[in-house]
Amino acid sequence: MRNVLNVFRPARRRPASNRPASSRPPNGGWYRSESCRPLSVGQIRDRHFRTVRHGLDPAEVHAFLYRVAGDLAIVRRELARTAEENVRIKRALRSWQSRFAPGARR
C-alpha cells in the first residue's frame, strides 16, 4: 500500500526542516484536489457498497462505518472545543500582558 501512496507524494529535493513553512506542500505533500472536501459524518453513515459474490458482509461494513462516523463526530467536537479554548486562553494572555507589561499604567 505504501508504494501505491508514494506515487502521489512529490519528490523531495531536500529535508522539509530546511525549507521555510510557506514553501512546504500542504497535507505533508499528499495530493488532494480542491474539490475533495473532508468526509462528513452523514457521508460515512450513508455510504453503500456493491455486493459481490465473494465480498464483505454488508452488515459488518455498515457497522464499521457507523463506528468510524461516531469517532469522527467526537473528534470534530473535541477539535471545536479545543479551538474555542485556545482563543479564550490567547485573549486571557493578551489581557494579562497588557496589564502587567513594563511601562503599562496601573
Write out pLDDT tens, residues 85-103: 999 999 999 999 999 877 6
Is there a domain that residue 31 lies in? yes
pLDDT at 84: 97
106 in a structural domain? no
Q: What is the pLDDT of residue 38?
A: 82
Q: What is the pTM for the complete model shown?
A: 0.52
Number of domains present in the structure of the chain: 1
Among residues 34, 36, 13, 8, which one has the least CA distance to residue 23?
13
Evaluate whether residue 105 is within a structural domain.
no
Sign of CA dihedral 39, 42, 44, 46: negative
> In this structure, what DSSP letter does residue 24 have?
S
The set of cell numbers assigned to 3 is: 508504494
41: Cβ contacts below 8 Å, ≥ 6 apart: 69, 70, 72, 73, 76
Answer whether residue 94 is part of any domain.
yes
Model confidence at 72: pLDDT above 70: yes
pLDDT at 104 over 60: no
pLDDT at 25 over 60: no
For residue 57, being part of any structural domain is answered with yes
Q: Residue 74 — pLDDT band, cuts 50, 70, 90? A: very high
Q: Which residues span the domain enclosing 28?
A: 2-100
